[in-house]
Amino acid sequence: MSNGSSKSADRRRGENVAPVKKQKPARSGSPSLKSFPSRAIRAAERREAIIAAALDEFIARGYAATRLDDVAKRAGVAKGTIYLHFADKETLFQELIRTALGPLISRLAAPPPAGGSARAALERFAQIFVQEIVTTRRGDIVRLIIAEGARFPSVADFYYREVVARGMAAMRALIELGIARGEIRQQGLTRFPQIVVAPAMLAVIWQGLFGSQAPLDATEMLRVHLDLIFGERGTT
């Protein structure tokens, strides 16, 4: 791993470390009264701080090259504290993925197709996808899973069950709706909802690898893709 020839390992050290140090509750007046940020709450905060810091580090360096010392520093915590919350590095990584995926999962479960057109639903999906994933930290998480998933079967399994399988099911329902309403002609799409999602995935990867040298207008690309699916002639 990192080492030897002055790797750029500690390039950006301490400055961006948010010192969440000793934020004493200050309710220390009467020992008989309980202090406000109850222990459980402070513990939960620490846990979250560790997860947030670890996410940043794992995204930036990948699993193997991430140092728990750095995670601790970034979280404003001693290394030993990490071990009060997580059994080991791998557990931290796995729980982190779970935590990070939580919001995405609930979002997948929430939005029902409603009674509108399939095109409208897919357009909404595309818009949300771009502004909440391609552009943001969540895109990094997806890339992280793609990068490390093969080495962490449990992570890949979890991701498949909780995100991919559900996403595919939801997408298939949308496609069937579109076919039923006569918006979509290509019936084969039902068997491969992946085709509908593929450009979105590609956008995530593209942005991560080539974003700086050849940015991709994901929004526009997805619009063209929907035109393809719904059979509209391109404008230009």
Partner DNA sequence: TGACAATGACTGACTAGTCAGTCATATTTT
Partner DNA sequence: AAAATATGACTGACTAGTCAGTCATTGTCA
Asked if residue 221 binds its own copies (CB under 8 A), the reply is: yes
For 205, the enclosing helix (H) or strand (E) is helix 194-210
Cα dist from 169 to 84, 165, 166, 172, whole Å: 39, 6, 5, 5
Q: Write out the two tokens for 111.
A: 């939005």
| Token code pair at residue 229 | 């699916």
Q: Tell me the Ramachandran region of residue 26: left when phi exceeds 0, alpha when psi lies from -120 to 50, beta otherwise.
A: left
Output 47 or 89, the one with its CB closest to its own copies. Answer: 89
User: What gap in Å lies between CA 75 and CA 52, rounded to an integer?
Assistant: 8
Question: Rounded to whole angstroms, how far apart are CA atoms 144 and 5?
Answer: 26
Which of 156, 162, 167, 176 contacts its own copies by CB under 8 A? 156
For DNA, which stretch binds (CB under 7 A), given 29-37, 114-122, 126-134, 149-157? 29-37
Nearer to DNA, 10 or 157 (CB): 10
Specify the DSSP class assigned to residue 8.
Answer: G
Name which position in 15, 16, 22, 182 contacts DNA (CB under 7 A): 22
In 3D, which of 47, 40, 37, 44 has the Cα closest to residue 82? 47
Instruction: Rule CB under 8 A: say whether 228 interacts with its own copies.
Output: yes
| Amino acid type, 209 | L
- By CB under 7 A, is residue 42 in contact with DNA? yes
Residue with tokens 């991709």: 216
Q: Are 184 and 207 in contact (CB under 8 A)?
A: no
Binds its own copies (CB under 8 A): choice among 52, 159, 171, 174: 159
Question: What is the footprint of its own copies within residues 125-144 (CB under 8 A)?
Answer: 143
Q: Is 3 in the site for DNA (CB under 7 A)?
A: yes
Footprint of DNA (CB under 7 A): 1-6, 9-10, 13-14, 21-26, 28, 30-31, 34-40, 42-43, 46, 65-69, 77-81, 83-85, 88-90
Footprint of its own copies (CB under 8 A): 1-2, 4-5, 61-65, 88, 143, 145-151, 156-157, 159-160, 164-165, 185-192, 194-195, 197-199, 201-203, 205-206, 208-210, 213-214, 216, 220-221, 223-225, 227-229, 231-236
